[in-house]
Amino acid sequence: MGKMNQEVILKVKNLVTAFDTEEGRIRAVENVSFEVKKGQTMGIVGESGCGKSVTALSIMRLLPKPTGMIESGQILFHDNDIATLPAEKMHEIRGYGISMIFQEPMTALNPVHKIGRQLGEVFQLHFPKMNDKEIREKSVEMLQKVGIPEPVQRMDEYQHQISGGMRQRVMIAMALAGEPDILIADEPTTALDVTIQAQILKLMEALQRETGMAIIFITHALGVIAEICDDVLVMYAGTVAEKAPVVELFKDPKHPYTRDLLSSIPRLEGKRKTRLNVIRGMVPSLYELPAGCRYQNRCPYAMQGCEIESPPLKSVGEKHFAGCFLM
Ligand code: SF4
């Protein structure tokens, strides 16, 4: 997306996020590091269970309690380390600094309040000086911005009266009302049809241009990443497999997993949608992670040594890193 300011506003350093389960402690995110720049979009891609949503929930400090925890590492936002911030301070950051759009808007909207009231509450919280009339005007304007037809009428409706696509737009409106520095979007469009998906992505881009917010876009779809991201983090089984500017990643993918992912993107050929390749094998369970490289059971290049140590991320080009012993 934007190429404006290169200022780093979020720095995740060696993040380890763990869950206590009946079968012991598992690490869903292990040693993940990345930076997010103002006005730019960072994509986090990987199959389900790779740790991308847990990374997002760690940044928001919304891990399920008491089982989930940030075990070590830092999440630096302005002068704060989110990993260790007191709960009240974190509440503030979730309001003003970092907002998140979840996969399932049904669960995030309150069913008993009208849409206008829920959106109004966000404005009220962020702009305490606004009066009721201004809040209502701002809310209508925001609904209009996210492409909701007849916004004045929608203000007085409840979530069950509008479609899934509209609910997702209301969620985006609420996430943006506080003018966050960072918007985290976790598969925000997967439940929507293709046309609406495209509209929502366009809308996020437009708002980013307008406000300079950074976006962390989480998805399993590399196609979407190609369209909207500046930088990409490829995650596999809780670790970073590869990290690169988006053009570089598509032009010269280094990690065997990234290459496999790229060759499994469904393409439109003629009128038929074909899936070229399916990556063989399964993602290892977090309960039974292999020693060494986590991709070894699926990797066509696995060699002696891959099962002993885990490969560190190595620089393989300008701002391009991959964690594989082939590098
Ligand atoms: Fe494959 Fe070994 Fe590289 Fe892992 S470290 S991706 S198993 S070659």
Distance 259 CA to ligand 1 centre (A): 12
Distance 186 CA to ligand 1 centre (A): 28
Q: Which residues contact 220 (CB under 8 A, 6 or more apart)?
A: 45, 46, 47, 48, 187
What is the amino acid identity at position 260?
D
Atom of ligand 1 nearest to the CA of 293: 4
State whether the beta carbon of 176 lies less than 6 angstroms from ligand 1.
Answer: no
Distance 143 CA to ligand 1 centre (A): 48
Pocket test for ligand 1, best of 234, 254, 303 (most atoms within 8 A of CB): 303
State whether the beta carbon of 323 lies less than 6 angstroms from ligand 1.
Answer: no
The pLDDT value given to residue 273: 52
Cα(165)–Cα(149) distance, integer angstroms: 12
Helices (H) and strands (E) in the chain, counts: 11, 14
Distance 284 CA to ligand 1 centre (A): 14
What residues does 235 pair with on adjacent strands?
Answer: 240
Domain 8-97+178-322 CATH superfamily: P-loop containing nucleotide triphosphate hydrolases (3.40.50.300)
Distance 20 CA to ligand 1 centre (A): 29
Cα(305)–Cα(111) distance, integer angstroms: 54
Q: Digits of tens for pLDDT over the chain (327 positions)?
A: 445 557 999 999 999 999 999 988 999 999 999 999 999 999 999 988 899 999 999 999 999 988 999 999 999 998 899 999 998 888 888 877 999 887 765 566 788 899 999 999 988 888 889 999 999 999 999 998 888 899 999 999 998 898 888 888 888 888 888 889 999 998 876 666 677 777 778 888 888 998 899 999 998 888 888 888 999 999 999 999 999 999 999 999 999 999 998 887 665 555 555 555 677 778 888 888 889 999 999 999 999 999 999 999 999 999 999 999 999
The pLDDT value given to residue 2: 45
Q: How many CB atoms are closer than 10 A to CB 33?
A: 16
The pLDDT value given to residue 197: 73
**Ligand 1, atom 3: nearest CA belongs to which residue?**
324
Give yes or no for a contact between 231 and 240, defined as CB atoms under 8 angstroms apart. no
Task: Return the domain boundaries, the chain.
Answer: 8-97+178-322, 107-177
Q: How many CB atoms are closer than 10 A to CB 291?
A: 11
What is the amino acid identity at position 169?
R
Atom of ligand 1 nearest to the CA of 307: 7
Distance 138 CA to ligand 1 centre (A): 52
What residues does 239 pair with on adjacent strands?
Answer: 236
